[in-house]
Amino acid sequence: MVGLSIGEKHFIQGGIAQDLRSDGRKRLTTRPIYVETGVISQANGSARVRMGATDVIASVKAELGRPNALQPDKGKVVVNVDCSPTAAPMFEGRGGEELSAELSVALQCCLLGGKSGSGAGIDLSSLVVVEGKICWDLYIDGLVVSSDGNLLDALGAAIKAALSNTGIPKVNVAAGASGDEQPEVDVSDEEFLQFDTSRVPVIVTLTKVGRHYIVDATSEEESQMSSAVSISINRQGHICGLTKRGGAGLDPSIILDMISVAKTVSEQLINTLDSHIAAAEAGEEES
Amino acid sequence: MAGKGGAAPSTYSPSPTTQKTKSRIFGNDDVDWVRSDGREFHQCRPAFFKTGAVNAAAGSAYAEFGNTKVIVSVFGPRESKKAMMYSDIGRLNCNVSYTTFATPVRGQGSDHKEFSSMLHKALEGAIILETFPKTTVDVFALVLESGGSDLPVVISCASLALADAGIMMYDLVTSVSVSGLGKNLVIDPILEEESYQDGSLMLTCMPSRYEVTQLTITGEWSTPKINEGMQICLDACSKLAVVMRACLKGPDSTLEE
């Protein structure tokens, strides 16, 4: 928790009311975003995203597994977020568990869509190798290295960058396996299939402080929030998920207003993020 | 839900038989399918509430919406644990658990770890925490039988239990969810509909204040659809509040919507 004096609290609240925040931003301006891809060589894909002092790493690991008996034509995706005590002492031991669980659930809800699989950012059917027998299990891990607010948006961006950095090895299935036998597979370590990330949404969190709401809040600003709404939006402008944090109630019309604001913000964010990811990928290939 | 092989239920589980082998009963373009329990798309299941279900608790409530059966007890306010820092407002401690026989497959209820924090978030905005400083109120919810829309039922039932315990609240909290199935929105989905849903929207609100305390959306939604879904939910929430209020007032509170 951030310890703030009454004066500082008033300064933050007053600044937001006057559309000039402590760091000189306007209410709907985001901090500059830095994207690095391929930061973890052990993983199939990884990315590090920094927004101000918020620093997160996302890694994607693919493992061969068996599809769920109920959904034989789909792979599995597991999203897990870890809050390291290096980011804040309160994350030590079980302290970070609650936040980790909250972030994991929110990301899962934003990325995976409905139960039937529609609206998912990741196309689960593309992960199947042999229907009902072999599929890729995608483990998406987020790590909070340093926390200065707006973790969910940063993690969402990092996962999007990590997924576009992900190469799934090509699998050759040995022919001849029949019936219930598990077919033999040969995982290629040279050929990789690129992942389609055009449908992966970005997450925009609008934090309500006083009567106004801001994007990309720092932790000082987050400590003054009454509620926050995180909206994940894809390139088509469709809502892929929405969660609310903070106890204070909101008028339904404000929520709809927030959704339309989030849409405009997300368009810019998607474009910035895409160009940053492209630049990061290009930089990685050169080095 | 792979347990369809064992036809004879070995434990007490009057839940509907699972639908693994059934084909999808409603197509995307098919507008006129009938919901398996005969309801219309925008018709909720009959709601039954009863307060005072647990003697030992400060307040408790039992709710039954179709096959979804939930019991919530509220304990406290009690002294906060020593390890907690001093706080001039009260604390709310929520826990949602499933009985092992609540789900079609035994013990599957542990998949819903996030429900506890979601219940907490839905309720904290409605409780006047300033009225019990330095103390903690425990809200324990147990899903006896999962029949779809579990979390909304838990939230509504918990607010009734809090009211029964005499915890000061701004308003009752009611919650309703809708499922998107193809082009249609169905309210108060049952387990079967939830497993086929393309998206879901759960709205929790304080009806008399017309404030949304929690909103969760999964799946892909367009803005007009969100609008529609929210309106349906808000409408149902205010109707649900009438039922809950009647239950709190009535001496023998058996009211059906």
ipTM of the complex: 0.81
User: Does the residue A86 lie in any domain?
Assistant: yes
**Residue count (chain A):** 287
| pLDDT at A178 (0 to 100) | 60
- Interface subset of A 121-160, CB within 8 angstroms of B: none
User: Does the residue A38 lie in any domain?
Assistant: yes
User: Does the residue B14 lie in any domain?
Assistant: no
User: Does the residue A73 lie in any domain?
Assistant: yes
pLDDT above 60 (res B254): no
Q: Which residues of B touch A245 (CB under 8 A)?
A: 121
User: Does the residue A20 lie in any domain?
Assistant: yes
Q: Which residues of A touch B218 (CB under 8 A)?
A: 109, 112-114, 241
A102 has a chain B CB within 8 A of its CB: yes
| pLDDT at A141 (0 to 100) | 92
| pLDDT at B172 (0 to 100) | 92
Contact indicator for A215, A204 with CB cutoff of 8 Å: yes
User: Does the residue B165 lie in any domain?
Assistant: yes
How far apart CA A85 and CA A213 sit, in angstroms, is 29
A257 has a chain B CB within 8 A of its CB: no
Count of structural domains, chain B: 1
Higher pLDDT, B236 or A115: B236
| pLDDT at B253 (0 to 100) | 45
B196 has a chain A CB within 8 A of its CB: yes
| pLDDT at B248 (0 to 100) | 87
User: Does the residue A2 lie in any domain?
Assistant: no
Counting runs of H as helices and runs of E as strands, what totals does chain A give? 5, 12
**Shortest CB distance from B114 goes to which of A105, A229, A245?**
A105
* C-alpha closest to that of A60 among A146, A150, A155: A155
Long-range CB contact pairs, B192-196, < 8 A, 24+: B192/B16, B192/B19, B192/B36, B192/B148, B193/B35, B193/B36, B193/B148, B194/A115, B194/B148, B194/B149, B195/A115, B195/B1, B195/B19, B196/A115, B196/A116, B196/B24, B196/B26
Residue of chain A with shortest Cα separation from B119: A247
Count of structural domains, chain A: 1
How confident is the model over B79-115, as pLDDT tens digits?
Answer: 887 666 777 888 888 999 998 888 887 877 667 778 8
pTM of the model: 0.82
> How close does chain A come to B251, measured CA to CA in Å?
31
Within chain A, which residues score under 70 in pLDDT?
1-2, 113-120, 175-183, 286-287
pLDDT above 80 (res B15): no
CATH number assigned to the domain comprising residue B207: 3.30.230.70
Q: Please give the helix or strand (H or E) that residue A265 lies within, else none.
A: helix A252-286
Mean pLDDT of chain B: 80
Q: Could you give the C-alpha distances from A61 to A76, A139, B166, in angstroms and in order?
A: 12, 5, 50
User: Which of B115, B151, B210, B212 best tests the A interface by mutation, with the highest count of A CBs <10 A?
Assistant: B212
Residue range(s) defining the domain that contains residue B88 = 47-249
User: Does the residue B18 lie in any domain?
Assistant: no
Residue range(s) defining the domain that contains residue A263 = 10-286
Q: Which residues of B touch A101 (CB under 8 A)?
A: 113-114, 117
User: Does the residue A42 lie in any domain?
Assistant: yes
CATH number assigned to the domain comprising residue A14: 3.30.230.70
User: Does the residue A104 lie in any domain?
Assistant: yes
Average pLDDT over residues B133-156: 90
User: Which of B25, B190, B217 best tests the A interface by mutation, with the highest count of A CBs <10 A?
Assistant: B217
pLDDT-based confidence at B141, cuts 50/70/90? very high
How confident is the model over B38-60, as pLDDT tens digits?
Answer: 788 888 888 888 888 888 889 99
User: Does the residue A269 lie in any domain?
Assistant: yes
